[in-house]
Amino acid sequence: MLIEHYDLEVFTPPCDPGAERYAALARLTADISEILPYLNATLRGAVYLPEAQALTWKKGGHNIAFHAYEIAASNVEDREGAEKELKGLIDLVNRTWERRAEITPDHTTRQRPTPMAVYRLLPQTNCKQCGEPTCYTFAFKLTAAQKKLADCPPLFGPQFAEKLAALEAIVIEAPAIG
Give the interface with ligand SF4 as residue ranges (CB under 6 A): 122-123, 125-130, 132, 135, 138, 152, 154-155
CB-nearer residue toward ligand SF4: 81 or 123: 123
Using a 10 angstrom Cβ sphere, with 0-12 exposed, 13-18 middle and 19 or more buried, the burial of residue 76 is buried
Residues 76/60, Cβ–Cβ less than 8 Å: no
CB-nearer residue toward ligand SF4: 13 or 157: 157
- Determine the Cα–Cα distance for residues 178 and 170; give it in Å rounded to an integer: 24
CB-nearer residue toward ligand SF4: 49 or 127: 127
The nearest distance, CB 153 to ligand SF4, in angstroms, is 6
The nearest distance, CB 130 to ligand SF4, in angstroms, is 3
The nearest distance, CB 88 to ligand SF4, in angstroms, is 29
**Could you give the 3-state DSSP secondary structure of residue 79?**
helix
Q: At a CB cut-off of 8 Å and minimum separation 6, what does 44 contact?
A: 171, 172, 173, 174, 175
Query: Strand order of the sheet with strand 6-11?
Result: 6-11, 22-28, 70-76, 62-67, 54-59, 47-49
The nearest distance, CB 135 to ligand SF4, in angstroms, is 3
CB-nearer residue toward ligand SF4: 92 or 144: 144
